[in-house]
Amino acid sequence: MFRFTAQRLLLHQVRGGSSVSWAPRSAKRAQRHSKEALQLSRQRYHLQRENERIRQSVNLNYIEQRRVQGKSREFLAATAYGLIHKSSKGENRNARQQQYYSPQDRAEDMATARHLLMMEETKRQEMKRGRTQRLEMFRSMKRR
């Protein structure tokens, strides 16, 4: 330990007593590690953490919403295709219930199926809009 101290003193005397060039930190580095800079860094860290929590909760809500909307779309499509199949391939008479399946009933079933398919398409567009809004929200969070 004494040896290193002696070397420093020797170099200090050789350079004429000027220890400025041997300063441990430059002005830029001193500013980088100043109290204000560290506080700003800490605030930025907390803001990023908060944004990450918000993003995570938005993602979880979005996933759940997409799952529900997807099941709803599947149900609408399956019901519509069932009605189409029933009206196009169905028999005129149901032997068990002794009911007559009239052309008017077929037309009503086809209209209902068409309405269900339109609702399914509306759901699809709504899901697309939701995805766009979510991405736009994430972009706006990055701009802050």
Question: Domain limits of the chain?
Answer: 26-143
| Share of the chain residues as helix, strand and coil, in percent rounded to the nearest 5 | 80, 5, 15
Residue 55, judged by CB atoms within 10 A of its CB (0-12, 13-18, 19+), counts as middle
Nearest residue to 11 via CA among 22, 1, 2, 25: 22
100 has which bridge partners?
Answer: 93
What pLDDT, on the 0 to 100 scale, is given for residue 56?
92
pTM as predicted: 0.55
What pLDDT, on the 0 to 100 scale, is given for residue 92?
60
- Helices 35-89 and 103-143: crossing angle in degrees, nearest 10, is 170
Does 99 or 1 have the greater pLDDT score? 99
Give CA–CA dist 89/83, Å, rounded: 10
What pLDDT, on the 0 to 100 scale, is given for residue 7?
61
Q: Dig out the tokens for 16 from the structure.
A: 């004429």
Q: What is the mean pLDDT of residues 65-70?
A: 90
What pLDDT, on the 0 to 100 scale, is given for residue 103?
82
pLDDT single digits (tens) 26-42:
777 777 778 888 899 99
Give CA–CA dist 29/140, Å, rounded: 32
pLDDT band at 104 (very low <50, low <70, confident <90, very high): confident
pLDDT band at 90 (very low <50, low <70, confident <90, very high): low
What pLDDT, on the 0 to 100 scale, is given for residue 114?
94
